[in-house]
Amino acid sequence: MAENIEKFLNRVAEVAEQSTLVKMTLSKPANKHDDLRNIYVKPVLIKGKRLFAFTYHYERRDEVKNYDAAQMLEILREMLPERFLNAVLFTVSEDVTLLVSSKGKATIQTKKVQESRAQNLDHDKQKNRLLNPANPWWYQLGLTTREGKITADMQHKFKQIYKYAEIVESLVKPMKFDDTVHIADMGAGKGYLTFALHELLTQRLNLDVDIKGVEIRSDLVLKINEIIQSDHLKGLEFVESSIEAYHPEKLDVLIALHACNTATAIASGIKAGADLIVCAPCCHKQIRQEMERSGRFDAITRYGIFLERQAVMITDTIRALILEYFGYKTQVMEFIEMEHTPKNVLLVGRKTSKNAKDPKILQQIEDLKAQYGIEKHYLETALGLKL
């Protein structure tokens, strides 16, 4: 076993010296519960010095570190076969595969390639991606280092932001806007999604935007506006206001992700005639409390956890129906942030040209309320509906 592993490592040393190493992968963890799932290695040129970038793929994050050839070989000796049982070396002319069996037997397979490969020595190559962590605002918001690397404790948060950006892009891209796109991000908080929206819409979709981050905490508004000014971001501003008190003159897109008082945010979007409303709803306590007061528990809702889930579904169903009543085509999307995390719901409403205020929709709402002993849904009150 040791002989073939040494033979593989010697080959790695040779191609590193000859500058013919294209890439290398380490996979199949020796311990299946190991948080480190695989390692990807590629040569990079940094300030005229040839190094090797190791991308460590953990269960919930990635880390990148650069090493010289001697350090690379030292790490490989530590990893093979203690941490990984498989390794593949890709050179400009051949593939060399090291396989270690569960019994510890190591074998090497060598395969010539038909066409000579070329090396890519770009460091941190910029991909055609929605969000670029190297942009200065991500560092100022506390998600990355000065060098544009996402910090370990923010890997999950950035992936969540990126996923939301993907969804928003799919919703906004097909839409047609005549002029500046007016957007309100209700309950914008620390501004992560607001900055993602601005970057996505201006740098990727080339839209002229007027984005307002609506946030009630004055310290956050002051801090975020300082970042906006320092980075000279056009068409982005934070406004100190509650959701109830914010009444935009023009609104094309309303975003409210886990913002308290979701119903008021939706009502604002409907009243302003927004073309697109995107919410990750919260605030289900009102309906739950009414269901509890009614005493109309069935075999499901008499259990606390099921009552909570039922209240969530009823609340969001009525929200979707009210959007339809006001002429929106609604879609409820299930969004799973990451593996092994709770599911979220995105409620999406697109303004249509069809006739609104269908009385059949009001009857559906009334039937739901009657079934579960609900007197009022807060969104009804916010919109002045008399049901």
Query: Is 263 a residue whose pLDDT tops 80?
Result: no
Q: What are the DSSP calls for 194-212, one per residue?
A: HHHHHHIIIIIS---EEEE
Q: What is the pLDDT of residue 47?
A: 79
Q: Which DSSP category does 127 fall into?
A: P
Check: CB of residue 75 under 8 Å from CB of residue 30.
Answer: no
Domains observed in the chain:
2-112 (no CATH), 136-383 (3.40.50.150)
Helix axes 2-18, 69-79, angle to 10 degrees: 160
Q: What pLDDT sits at residue 341?
A: 40
Instruction: For residue 150, give both structure tokens.
Output: 């996402």
Question: Is residue 116 over pLDDT 70?
Answer: no
Task: Round to whole Å and give the CA distance between 63 and 50.
Answer: 19
Q: For residue 126, what pLDDT is reported?
A: 45
Average pLDDT estimate for 30-41 = 90
E strand spans, 245-382 = 253-257, 276-280, 328-336, 343-351
Band of the pLDDT at 176, cuts 50, 70, 90?
confident
The rounded distance, in Å, linking the Cα atoms of 35 and 29 is 9
Strand order in the sheet with 236-240: 236-240, 209-215, 181-186, 253-257, 276-280, 343-351, 328-336
The model's pLDDT over 299-325, given as tens digits with 9 standing for 90+, comes to 666 777 887 788 888 888 988 999 999
- Please give the pLDDT value at position 74: 96
**pLDDT over threshold 70, residue 31:** yes
Q: Does residue 33 have a pLDDT over 70?
A: yes
The average pLDDT across 265-270 equals 89
Q: What is the mean pLDDT of the chain?
A: 86
* DSSP reduced 3-state for 247: coil
Q: Are 377 and 367 in contact (CB under 8 A)?
A: no
DSSP string for residues in 75-100: HHHHHTTTTEEEEEEEESSEEEEEEE
